[in-house]
């Protein structure tokens, strides 16, 4: 099978079959070459139904989790989105396909640099990168219509909540260092409304308003 055939099969069998419905999310995942974001020697597993190591103790999320979290943001194309945890840059590319501007923060410089290289090469002009602790958010560039946290947090952060627009959506895994529940937070009349969606496992969010390193 070619990479493209593998990718279409992944979308049909892992996303559509399991209930991902947002056609824009589906089309973006049909298009973006996930295998470019997976380093060797795991590249051959890029379309497998699981997260994969990207080095530095971090992972690229399972395709279904990327699709599910993105669908939760309900993007229509005119949004500014904040991503905490650039990692491989794959989720960043999907967001850049679906929103107007993406602001992405990564605490590990080597991962951020690698992702920037790949995303620049792919020609995305609507992604803004920062190396640092994403638990502070990016207040100078906010507020955002969407915030996506791709590492497991100990609680729902009011710091990030303050950077959400009215009717803005935030998706964030919340729980222990080892397992979490995925929450969608929607700001309504200035209040943060919580929905507990599914169980998940992410690497820990490390920072001032999250877990300590080790």
- The percent of the chain in helix, strand and coil, each rounded to the nearest 5, is 35, 30, 35
Q: Which residue's Cβ has the minimum distance to ligand SAH?
A: 87
Of the pair 3, 136, the CB lying nearest ligand SAH is at 136
Q: Considering only 16-24, 72-80, 82-90, 181-189, which stretch makes contact with ligand SAH by CB under 6 A? A: 82-90
Binding mask 177-206 vs ligand SAH (x if CB under 6 A, - otherwise)?
--------------------------x-xx
Site membership for ligand SAH, residue 60 (CB under 6 A): yes
List, in sequence order, every beta strand (DSSP E) within the chain: 52-55, 58-60, 80-84, 101-106, 127-131, 144-149, 164-175, 180-188, 191-200
| Total residue length of the chain | 214
170 versus 203: smaller Cβ distance to ligand SAH? 203
Output the six-digit token pair for 59. Answer: 């992972």
Terminal C-alpha separation, the chain: 41
Rg (CA), the chain: 16
CB-side neighbour CA atoms (13 Å) of 105: 22
Q: Which stretch binds ligand SAH (CB under 6 A): 26-34, 42-50, 117-125, 133-141?
A: 133-141
Least distance to ligand SAH from the beta carbon of 204, Å?
7
87 is a contact residue toward ligand SAH (CB under 6 A): yes
Distance CA 173, CA 8 (A): 27
Give the Cβ contact number of residue 140 at 10 Å.
6
Residue 188 C-beta: closest distance to ligand SAH, Å: 27
CB of 45 to ligand SAH, least distance (A): 14
Is 157 among the catalytic positions? no
Q: Which residues bind ligand SAH (CB under 6 A)?
A: 54, 58-61, 84-85, 87-88, 90-91, 105-108, 111, 133-135, 150-151, 203, 205-207, 210
């Amino acid at each position: 099978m070619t990479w493209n055939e593998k990718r279409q099969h992944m979308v049909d069998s892992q996303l559509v079959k399991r209930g991902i419905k947002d056609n824009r999310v589906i089309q973006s995942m049909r298009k973006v070459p996930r295998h470019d974001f997976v380093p060797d020697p795991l590249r051959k597993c890029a379309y497998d139904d699981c997260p994969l190591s990207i080095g530095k103790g971090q992972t690229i999320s399972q395709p279904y989790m990327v699709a599910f979290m993105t669908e939760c943001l309900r993007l229509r194309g005119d949004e500014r989105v904040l991503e905490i945890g650039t990692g491989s840059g794959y989720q960043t590319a999907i967001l850049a396909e679906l929103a107007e501007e993406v602001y992405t923060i990564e605490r590990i410089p080597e991962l951020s640099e690698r992702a920037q290289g790949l995303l620049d090469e792919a020609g995305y002009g609507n992604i803004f990168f920062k190396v640092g602790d994403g638990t502070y958010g990016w207040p100078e560039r906010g507020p955002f219509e969407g915030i996506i946290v791709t590492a497991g947090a100990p609680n729902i952060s009011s710091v990030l909540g303050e950077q959400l627009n009215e009717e803005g959506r935030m998706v964030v895994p919340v729980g222990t260092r080892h397992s979490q529940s995925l929450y969608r937070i929607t700001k309504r009349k200035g209040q943060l409304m919580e929905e507990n969606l599914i169980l998940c496992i992410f690497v820990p969010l490390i920072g001032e308003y999250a877990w300590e390193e080790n």
